Amino acid sequence: MPNAEHHPRVGLFVTCLADMFRPSVAFATVRLLEQAGCIVEVPEAQTCCGQPAYNSGDKKTTQEIARQTIAAFEGFDYVVGPSGSCIGMLHYYVDLFEAGDSWKQRAEDLKARAFEITSFLIDVVGFDKISASFEGSVTYHDSCSGLRQLGVKQQPRTLLGKVENLELKEMEEAETCCGFGGTFCVKYPDISNRMVSNKTEYISNSGARTLVGGDLGCLLNMAGKLKREGKEVEARHVVEILAGMCDEPAIGEADYDLAKQL
Amino acid sequence: MQIKSPDFKKNARIALQDVGLQKALGNLKAGFPVKRSIAVDRMPEFEDLRDEARDLKNHILGNLDIYLEQFESKVIENGGHVHWCRTAEDAQKKILEICQEVDAKTVTKGKSMVSEEINLNEYLEANGVQPIETDLGEYILQLREDHPSHIIAPAIHLNLEDVSEAFHKHHKRPKSDDPAVLMQEAREMLRKKFVAADVGITGANFCVAETGSTIIVTNEGNGDLTQTLPKTHIVVTSIEKVVPTLEDMTLFLRLLARSATGQEFTVYNTLSTGPRREGDQDGPENFHVVLVDNGRSEMVGTEFQDMLRCIRCSACMNHCPVYGSVGGHAYGWVYPGPMGSVLTPQMIGIEKGGNLPNASTFCGKCESVCPVRIPLPKLMRHWRENEFEKHLTPSAARYGLAGWAFFAKRPTMYRMLSKTSNWFLRTMAGKKGKISKLPLAGGWTDFRDMPAPSGKTFMQQWKEGQR
């Protein structure tokens, strides 16, 4: 990457769920990127990656959103986001345009620059100087797109290994889908429920106190199920732990300071 | 077989509450995937073989006419017959005609999913020919008037008690729950049928163009008795099963056994090359190959061509969390799991099969284990695109999507929507941090809580200068 060696300019792909449900995930991503020596900007023109349209078969809408996203992130050395699923969607843009269409080349160019945060830190900038501490045991869920599309497996574990006092307890079937699947969980709620119930059983069997993952969709699903079942496991996005930003209650926990936030 | 795919959601709900089925599915999960993984780990070149197999299949599909014609001429040269059947009905009629030519009363059958696809048993029975399934799983299903729920382990949805019950009822023997006793019983019952049958029908895992041979792989040896004892052997198979050479066939056999059951090789690999020749000690006098198209040739050259690489190993369904939750019958037709979700809409129409390619989280596990690297999630997505273009997507989903898209294409308005939704959800949650019941989101909150947003949107906070 040109001029990217010392202080790469990174466009943050916020992701809808981090924006709406858990801003701390986006803030933690910014902090990690800055610790790794990047200059971070948040392009205003970004919205959603387009996955809901893509997976519903609405190719035209997906193309329109893709063009908007491609344009919003042109000029950055890298595009980084706290989600394997959304970044994976950015990689799919190349399949949306025919050969010869100039957008295809621009999509290829975006794909080459777009990374999931833990993969970016390890695979691109080789950063693992994590200065965070976390009391307790965690178990890591491998979200599907990150794992199978982007090859995110060891990177978050390597980084978690640098966190002081943290103990990683692997669960059984860490690579099995949690049943979220975007609109799948509301279109096929019974099946989704079975899948997430299997998952929460593996999670609690691991003995870990905290569930950690790299995708908020999956985490909201599993955290919601853990809460409903009354299981004493909390859920956090991996970047919160890596950036040492765990002051905020875990996902779906009670004591948000509502008065301050409303 | 009655098509029940449009009722997928209902079928799935029932399946999830079926205690026996859930127990049986648990056995599946602990079986095939574990065995496959061990077999694959023991073969360092496995990933390379997958590439090779994908490329070879692509080559075959690009030259399908040439290899099929070569196969046909070799079968004829060997003294056999080839029948080209465009539709399921053509294939039914042709097979009945062959049976009637030899005045067949009973027909033994080896396991064949193509015969399920063309609804052969029902058709033969209605026309006075009694089919007898000889694969143990299929035999059990026939006694129970049931259908396969899996392409290689057809009775995987049953438990030992079910088999014991069925045998007791039909064999009129003392009830036993000892698998060895039950197997012996089935053997004894079937032995007479093998000898009495006028025609033997098998499928084919592959058809070899250079020799005009067909091959079946089984673990029971029932296929051998089915095809060697009767006077007439009918192979019913489909056009994409052709491979150029015996050598090519072995590549697929290595992948097939490991991907399917985790075996290094299936126990019986039986080649059929024409009818009995002079001096042969056994074998049929007549050898027929019924080549079924049934929509396959329409897939060649389209976005669905990759599906024709499928070698029916079942790895995709064995590893699928949706199949693992609901089993094969919920899919409502012959082919279940990810491969069925792509193939079924082609064969019964997207209007009836539309639920299947939608019932996937696109987790990608199927593609990651497919021995011929079929991009199954991508093909399921193509069906969704097809549905969307034909306006078959349910209207609620369609309007919801259109509403969302309106905002997603306008960043400033999208911010406002996020801000409002964020505020709404936080208000709903109050101080609890989660929402237990949310209007219009019952699909979510019936089963799990909805974690509430933990503060204003990131974009708001970022603009306010927070870091």
Strand order, beta sheet including B268-272: B242-243, B206-208, B213-218, B268-272
B-chain CB neighbours of A53 within 8 Å are 401, 404-405, 408
- Based on the domain organization, do A139 and A238 belong to the same domain? yes
- Based on the domain organization, do A79 and A183 belong to the same domain? no
Pairing of strands A78-81, A133-141: unpaired
How close are the terminal C-alpha atoms of chain A, in Å? 43
Residue B379 in 3-state DSSP?
helix
Query: What is the per-residue pLDDT for B326?
Result: 98
Query: What is the per-residue pLDDT for A5?
Result: 59
Whose CA is closest to B50, among B367, B371, B376? B371
- Based on the domain organization, do A144 and A60 belong to the same domain? no
Please report, for the domain that includes residue A179, its CATH number. 3.40.50.11810
- Based on the domain organization, do A187 and A117 belong to the same domain? no
Which structural domain range is residue A225 located in?
129-242
Cβ contact B411–A184 (<8 Å): no
DSSP category for residue B306: G
Asked if B374 and B343 touch (Cβ cutoff 8 Å), the reply is no
What's the domain count of chain A?
2
Counting Cα atoms < 13 Å in the Cβ hemisphere of B30 gives 6
Q: What is A126-148 written as a DSSP string? A: -------EEEEEEEEE--HIIII
B-chain CB neighbours of A252 within 8 Å are 433-434, 449-452
DSSP category for residue A124: I
Helix (H) or strand (E) holding A240: helix A238-242
How is domain B43-297 classified at the CATH fold level?
Answer: Rossmann fold (3.40.50)
Q: What is the full per-residue pLDDT of chain B (467 aa) written as tens digits?
A: 899 999 999 999 999 999 999 999 998 888 999 999 999 999 999 999 999 999 999 999 999 999 999 999 999 999 999 999 999 999 999 999 999 999 999 999 999 999 999 999 999 999 999 999 999 999 999 999 999 999 999 999 999 999 999 999 999 999 999 999 999 999 999 999 999 999 999 999 999 999 999 999 999 989 999 999 999 999 999 999 999 999 999 999 999 999 999 999 999 999 999 999 999 999 999 999 999 999 999 999 999 999 999 999 999 999 999 999 999 999 999 999 999 999 999 999 999 999 999 999 999 999 999 999 999 999 999 999 999 999 998 888 899 999 999 999 999 999 999 999 999 999 999 888 899 998 878 889 999 999 999 999 999 999 998 87
Low-confidence ranges of chain A (pLDDT < 70): 1-5, 255-262
- Based on the domain organization, do A208 and A225 belong to the same domain? yes
- Based on the domain organization, do A16 and A73 belong to the same domain? yes
A-chain CB neighbours of B321 within 8 Å are 176-177, 179, 195, 198
**Nearest chain A CA: its distance from B118 CA (Å):** 30
Residue A252: inside a domain: no
Pairing of strands B450-451, B434-435: antiparallel
Asked if B273 and B78 touch (Cβ cutoff 8 Å), the reply is yes
- Based on the domain organization, do A118 and A90 belong to the same domain? yes
Query: What is the per-residue pLDDT for A253?
Result: 87
Q: Is B455 on the interface with A (CB under 8 A)?
A: yes
Cβ contact B13–A190 (<8 Å): yes
Cα–Cα distance for residue pair A201/A214, rounded to 1 Å:
19
Q: What is B145-213 written as a DSSP string? A: T---SSSSSTTTT--HHHHHHHHHHHH-S-----HHHHHHHHHHHHHHHHHH-SEEEE--SEEETTTTE
Residue B272 in 3-state DSSP?
strand
- Based on the domain organization, do A98 and A173 belong to the same domain? no
Q: Which residues have a Cβ under 8 Å from the Cβ of B222 and sit 6 or more positions away?
A: B110, B134, B135, B136, B190
Asked if B421 and A244 touch (Cβ cutoff 8 Å), the reply is no
A-chain CB neighbours of B455 within 8 Å are 23-24, 256, 261
- Based on the domain organization, do A42 and A86 belong to the same domain? yes
- What is the residue extent of each domain of chain B? 43-297, 410-463
Query: What is the per-residue pLDDT for A254?
Result: 73
Query: What is the per-residue pLDDT for A87?
Result: 98
CA–CA–CA angle B295, B66, B290 (5° rounding)? 50
- Based on the domain organization, do A66 and A108 belong to the same domain? yes
Instruction: Please name the amino acid found at residue B109.
Output: K
- Based on the domain organization, do A151 and A204 belong to the same domain? yes
- Based on the domain organization, do A119 and A16 belong to the same domain? yes
Query: What is the per-residue pLDDT for B396?
Result: 87
Cα–Cα distance for residue pair B179/B187, rounded to 1 Å:
12
> ipTM score of the complex?
0.94
Cα–Cα distance for residue pair B131/B193, rounded to 1 Å:
10
